[in-house]
Structure 1
Amino acid sequence: MKMNKALAQEIADKVMNVIPYNVNIMDEIGLIIGSGDPERMGTYHQGAVSAIEQGTIVSIYESEGASKPGVNIPIHFRDRIIGVIGISGDPNIVGPFAELVRVTAELLINQELLFRERRIQEQMKEEFLYQWVFRSGDYDTAIINNGEALGINLALERKAIVVKGRMPKEPYLLKQEYYFRLNQESMLYVVPNDSDIVKRIEAIQSSNPIRIGVGGRYTLVSKSVEEARRAIEISERIDLPQTICVYQELKFIDYLTNKDISFEEITNFFKELDENPKGQELTETLICYIKNSGDMNAISKELHIHRNSLAYRLQRIEVLTNKNPKNFMDLFQLFTGYILYKMQKQP
């Protein structure tokens, strides 16, 4: 590490607040880069050069040319001399301050190094996060190794959470949870699939309106990020009232406007039902439910079953699909999936 002028002057100022003597800070070649005497800045200090060459404290008792009486103490960092601190005055008087001054200077240098390393680490982490969450292709060895160096496990399935709007403060993060700002109005959180960060965000939500987009679980994070952003976009465009926008619940809307989106989980459900007599009953029940606008009496009469049996069949559909036919949005998805299945089915 090399001392810069700003750090050298900070050390000189701090030490001079404690002792009533002028202090000079020299770099590794003896050039004055911090001083209580501005006129000496940028000049060579012969006492410092001697201290660097000898690797020990050098005391000057009489003025010789530009050299003035005082003590010059090498500053060590990781077993290497990186500079010298000089205290002007009678060595017999200022000498007892030497060790205190050296320790103070080295503490300040260590603090500065830790701050720099932390800042570099944070910058590297931010750059990696950006590359990671927007990477569309598979992870290669280089990015996996970079992730491991930063303590990020890329093999873990994660989901993306996008928060659009202003929050009063950031939620606390747990292990393997990361975040950074997407733009002025949106924050991105990348968390393990079992994370409860949405609850933590809700707990600190103020009166300011926000939308929370939730993507699916993937190893390739960019896919979940795109889904989380898309969930918010869909909710805003069709004026849905909810704060939490789960892409999986809105995926069918995306399908209606984007034929590249797969709808296999619903169409496969109807395919499986079609191949089983008991399953065909559920399909028949659902279509009858739609045709009769949810009128339980009319449906029971048409299917020749008791209302309790009808309720059981509807419950079975919900259990198998995680979509409640009595909920309009869920019913719309089920019906859309049924239509797609019938249209794709070979005659």
Structure 2
Amino acid sequence: MIRPSLAHTIISEVRKLLDEDLIVVDPSGTIIASTDKERMGSFHEGALISYNERRRLIITQDDESKLTGVKAGINLPIFFQDQVVGVIGITGDPSKVSAYGELLRKMTELLIKEKYYAEQLEWHARTLEAFVFDWVQQKEWTRSFINQAKMLHIDLTVSRQVIIGYYGQHNRERIQREWWIDVSQTFTRQKDDLLVRWGNDRFVMLLANKAEGKERAVHSIQQIQKYIQNKYRHSLSFGVGQSVCPQELYRSFEQAERALAVAVRTQSIVFEEDLRLDMCLQDVKKQTRVDFVQRTLEPIMKDEDLLETLKTFIARNQSFKETAETLHIHINTLHYRLKKMEDKTGLNPRDFHDLTTLYLGLLFLEDNLKN
């Protein structure tokens, strides 16, 4: 049986090609979609005959007085999987509109098939999402989990690594079904790889462990990154966990999340195995970060020149000459700013220990501003 929402879609799509009045009728003979709004919900005896007898029915002007709720035109049964699921009709002179009959039927049946297979893809995608969510959350596998893996044809003996892709904050709109179908079908994944949506601003890839290792992961990410950037103008960041045995996928997921927290700052690809200082910083509580910034950078937070000087001094490996050249200032001005920074914060940027403290303050400050 055709749902009313699909019936309205059919009317809308067919009307783009035919400028005739159209109706869609359900198996009970009730009009569920029509270009003439006044006919909605009314009984159509001709369509009911067409449905029951599984044949095209031409309705003449004489039939209008004999059959309930009909107008001159043609009614055609709609078939899906060898079953009549409804009837579509064209109102008008039968000698003129009959020529459109077979075209109208085929268009309608193609729309129904397209809708059905799209819903099947959506169902499979959601089922796979739920399965992967369970997989990265649990440390012990249940019997139902193993059975579901078999149903989805997922090999639970293959080692994998988790990759999390994230859209920039300016691209937080919901991932549309059409977009996801495009991306997931464009990239031909190897047999054991999985790709699922993850909320409104992320997706998760489970790459099967292959001999190529890190090189394969980078290649897979760059392919998706380039495609989305060129076609949809989306900037992406990626956090990559390490390859683990299937029972410990949760570990790779946690690693990918940790790496992603670093990657979003630069919209880059970050492998958890490459993290060092950032690995520790991710575990620092938010309130501790706020307190640390207040104890280090608060006296100069409103002084953009001093903050920019500090960032550049660190980026140029404490080279006075390169820092001054980058900032386009005299080297004496640089020394003046560093001294002013020391006076206000009590931390000397020329001292390695104090500079490390100031650097941590900058990292925490950027995280607070980002969030």
TM-score by length of 2: 0.56
- Select 2:242's aligned residue among 215, 220, 224: 215
Summarize the Cα distance change of 1:197–1:70 in structure 2 as closer, same or farther, 3 Å threshold: same
Please list, as runs of the form range in 1=range in 2, the aligned pairs for 1:68-107 lying within 5 A after superposition: 68-107=71-110
**Displacement after TM superposition at 1:96 (Å):** 2.5
TM-superposed CA distance for 1:164, in Å, is 7.0
For 1:153, the aligned partner's letter is D
Partner of 1:313: none
Aligned amino acid, residue 102 of structure 1: R
d(CA) in 1 for partners of 2:35, 2:192: 48
Which segment is superposed worse, 8-17 or 149-158? 8-17
The runs of at least 4 consecutive aligned structure 1 residues that moved more than 6 Å come to 183-186, 233-236
In structure 2, what is the Cα distance between the partners aligned to 1:126 and 1:218?
20
The answer for the alignment partner of 1:123 in structure 2 is 126
Asked if 1:146 is matched to 2:148, the reply is: yes
Higher helix share: 2
Report the CA distance between 1:87 and its aligned residue: 1.3
Equivalent positions of 1:214-253 (< 5 A) are 214-225=241-252, 228-229=255-256, 232=259, 243-246=270-273
Query: Structure 1's 48 and 202: CA in aligned 2 closer, same or farther, altered over 3 A?
Result: closer
Q: Larger radius of gyration, structure 1 or 2?
A: 1
- Aligned residue for 1:246, secondary structure, equals helix
| Residue 211 to residue 157, structure 1, CA distance change in 2 (3 Å) | closer
**Whole-angstrom CA distance in 1 between matches of 2:108 and 2:168:** 43
Contact 2:75–2:89, Cα closer than 8 Å, also in 1: yes
- The root-mean-square deviation of aligned C-alpha atoms, in Å, is 3.7
Task: Using the aligned pairs only, state the percent identity.
Answer: 24
DSSP 3-state at the match of 1:34:
strand
In the TM superposition, residue 184 of structure 1 has moved relative to its aligned partner by 7.2
Q: Give the count of matched residue pairs.
A: 244
Which of 128, 132, 135 is matched with 2:135 structurally? 132
Mapped pair 1:174 → 2:190: yes
Unpaired segments of 5 or more residues in structure 1?
237-241, 258-347
Alignment match, 2:115: 112
Q: Is the Cα–Cα contact under 8 Å of residues 168 and 237 in structure 2 kept in the other structure?
A: yes
The CA distance in 1 between the partners of 2:47 and 2:36, in whole Å, is 16
CA contact (8 A) 1:177 1:190 kept: yes
> What letter corresponds to residue 143 of structure 1 in structure 2?
F
Greater Cα offset, 185-194 or 30-39 = 185-194
Q: Give the Cα separation in 2 of the matches to 1:227 and 1:191.
A: 15
Corresponding letter in the other structure for 1:158: R
Please give the per-residue CA displacement for 1:49-101, whole angstroms capped at 9, x wherever unaligned.
Answer: 11112221122212225322121111111111110011112323322221111
CA contact (8 A) 1:214 1:246 kept: yes
Shift of 1:22: 1.2
CA separation in 2, counterparts of 1:233 and 1:21?
55
TM-score by length of 1: 0.59
Q: How far did residue 234 of structure 1 move?
A: 11
